[in-house]
């Protein structure tokens, strides 16, 4: 018997205000055609004044707990992947823990920008398989609108706000002595994370508590990020498949980080996957950083595309650079 981390529920939340490309064009020197053709984005959601990352995280978490059919008191670890916490400290995870009425367990944030959810998945899986946590609430939540330079049209049109969450629980599963049972059971089969700090300056925020005592704004060399994303995502996908002795054709759904449709198309092409096996939400949500994978996952689970037993490949790349993947049997 082995402990396997099973995702038993998911949920997501988007702010009320939806801003189309056309609406954005009224205040930013841009147009729908440019944004659509370069990124696939049609609209994004923007948090209301006074609505914080923890509020989005809480709403997504409540939905995930409801979907899992469990009470917050059963959670013993809350992990929040975010680059846009309410405050420098305490962590947004502790705020969510409190708002859920939890007085038990532990809570912390993870900072891996757009790869945050995959980093969180790896962390949750390891805590569970080591026996240090039984049931983890993993959240990806962002208010990226607050760190955008709205005078920089090359970046501000690409991002949005939102949150997604999953409940992950350890379950004992039988594994065959030849290891063949490994891939058929439900849960997280493996996670793979990487970083390379040498490219920190192609995607970063030009402020912070220690350096400028300000929050700062997102800065990006789009072309360089694009180039690294295509290369790193292709290699991480292969790494995940090889580790599990699986073929590209075994994957039922690609659930990628939603940065840019062209990056997603390129990864799908390398996998030989048709568009109808790729969960695409970047058109409606834009890039919500750490929230994008759980938002996409929840969308495809709730509309019935992702079914029990399906094999999902989750992958992301973000600032750092950081990148990673997870294979999950739903
Ligand atoms: N509207 C209209 N014109 C614009 C806009 C805009 N919003 N932004 C830039 N332009 C103009 C520029 O001024 C420039 O004009 P010029 O040629 O007259 O100087 C021109 O468009 C630049 O266009 P391209 O070079 O064709 O831009 P490119 O094809 O490189 O696309 C983009 C830019 C979309 C940022 C692309 O590089 C990209 O997708 N990079 C990946 C970045 C990404 O997805 N980051 C997300 C965060 S990282 C992550 O999550 C993985």
Of 119, 226, 287, 291, the one to substitute when testing ligand 1's pocket (max ligand atoms within 8 A of C-beta) is: 226
pLDDT tens for 43-90 read 999 999 999 999 999 999 999 999 999 999 999 999 999 999 999 999
Q: In this predicted structure, what is the pLDDT of residue 184?
A: 76
Q: What is the dihedral of CA 59, 63, 64, 70, to 10 degrees?
A: 120
Q: Which atom of ligand 1 is nearest to the CA of 30?
A: 1
The answer to whether 130 is a known catalytic residue is: no
Q: In this predicted structure, what is the pLDDT of residue 178?
A: 43
pLDDT tens for 191-236 read 999 999 999 999 999 999 999 999 999 999 999 999 999 999 989 9
Per-residue tokens: 183: 């891939």
pLDDT tens for 117-170 read 999 999 999 999 999 999 999 999 999 999 999 999 999 999 999 999 999 999
HSE-up (13 A, CA, CB side) for residue 98: 9
Residue extents of the structural domains in the chain: 2-173, 187-329
Cα separations in angstroms, 262 against 74, 267, 298, 306: 41, 9, 22, 23
Per-residue tokens: 236: 């991480």
Q: In this predicted structure, what is the pLDDT of residue 126?
A: 98
Please identify which of the residues 114, 192, 217, 228 carries the catalytic annotation: 114
The 3-state secondary structure of 223-280, one letter per residue: HHHHHHHHHHHHHHHHHHHHHCCCCHHHCCEEEECCCCHHHHHHHHHHHCCCHHHECC
Q: In this predicted structure, what is the pLDDT of residue 177?
A: 46
The CATH class of the 2-173 domain is: alpha beta
**Cα 201 to ligand 1 centre (Å):** 17
Q: Which atom of ligand 1 is nearest to the CA of 157?
A: 7
Burial class (CB in 10 A: 0-12, 13-18, 19+), 149: middle
Q: Which atom of ligand 1 is nearest to the CA of 155?
A: 35
Residues 6+ apart with CB under 8 A from 163: 12, 13, 14, 53, 56, 57, 59, 60, 139, 140, 141, 142, 288, 291, 294, 295
Give the position of tokens 């094999």: 311
Res. 272: pLDDT tops 90:
no
Cβ < 6 A, ligand 1 pocket: 30, 34-35, 38-39, 114, 153-154, 157-158, 203, 220, 222-223, 225-226, 229, 257, 259-260, 287, 317-318
Do 187-329 and 2-173 fall under one CATH topology?
yes
The answer to whether 245 is a known catalytic residue is: no
Q: In this predicted structure, what is the pLDDT of residue 176?
A: 54
Q: In this predicted structure, what is the pLDDT of residue 180?
A: 46
Res. 179: pLDDT tops 80:
no
Which residue's C-alpha comes closest to atom 8 of ligand 1? 154
Q: In this predicted structure, what is the pLDDT of residue 173?
A: 87
Please identify which of the residues 10, 257, 260, 285 carries the catalytic annotation: 257
User: How far is residue 302's CA from residue 239's CA, in Å, rounded to a whole number?
Assistant: 29
**Cα 318 to ligand 1 centre (Å):** 16
CATH classification for the domain delimited by 187-329, as one of 3.40.50.1360, 3.40.47.10, 3.20.20.80, 3.40.50.150 = 3.40.47.10
Q: What's the chain's Rg over C-alpha atoms?
A: 19
Which residue's C-alpha comes closest to atom 9 of ligand 1? 154
């Amino acid at each position: 018997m082995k402990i396997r981390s099973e995702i038993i529920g998911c949920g997501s939340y988007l702010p009320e205000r939806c801003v189309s490309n056309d609406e954005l064009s009224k205040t930013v020197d841009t147009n729908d055609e440019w944004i659509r053709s370069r990124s696939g984005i049609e609209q994004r959601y923007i948090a209301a004044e006074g609505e914080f990352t923890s509020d989005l995280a809480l709403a997504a978490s409540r939905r995930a707990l409801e979907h899992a059919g469990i009470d917050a008191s059963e959670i013993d670890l809350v992990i929040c992947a975010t680059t846009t916490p309410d405050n420098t400290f305490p962590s947004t995870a502790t705020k969510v823990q409190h708002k859920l009425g939890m007085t038990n367990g532990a809570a912390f944030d993870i900072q891996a920008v757009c790869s945050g959810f995959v980093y969180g998945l790896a962390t949750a899986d390891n805590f569970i398989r080591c026996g240090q946590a039984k049931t983890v609430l993993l959240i990806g939540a962002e208010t990226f609108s607050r760190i955008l330079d709205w005078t920089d049209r090359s970046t501000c049109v690409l991002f949005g706000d939102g949150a997604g969450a999953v409940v992950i629980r350890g379950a004992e599963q039988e594994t065959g002595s030849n290891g063949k049972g490994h891939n058929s059971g439900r849960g997280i089969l493996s996670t793979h994370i990487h970083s390379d700090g040498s490219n920190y300056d192609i995607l970063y925020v030009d402020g912070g508590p220690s350096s400028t005592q300000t929050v700062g704004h997102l800065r990006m060399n789009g072309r360089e990020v694009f180039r690294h994303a295509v290369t790193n995502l292709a290699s991480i996908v292969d790494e995940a498949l090889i580790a599990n002795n699986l073929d590209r054709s075994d994957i039922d759904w690609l659930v990628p980080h939603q940065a840019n449709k062209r990056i997603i198309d390129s990864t799908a092409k390398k996998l030989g996957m048709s568009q109808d096996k790729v969960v695409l939400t970047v058109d409606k949500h834009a890039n919500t950083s750490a929230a994008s994978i759980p938002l996409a996952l929840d969308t495809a689970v709730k509309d019935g595309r992702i079914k029990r037993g399906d094999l999902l490949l989750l992958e992301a790349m973000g600032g750092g650079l950081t990148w990673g993947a997870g294979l999950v049997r739903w």
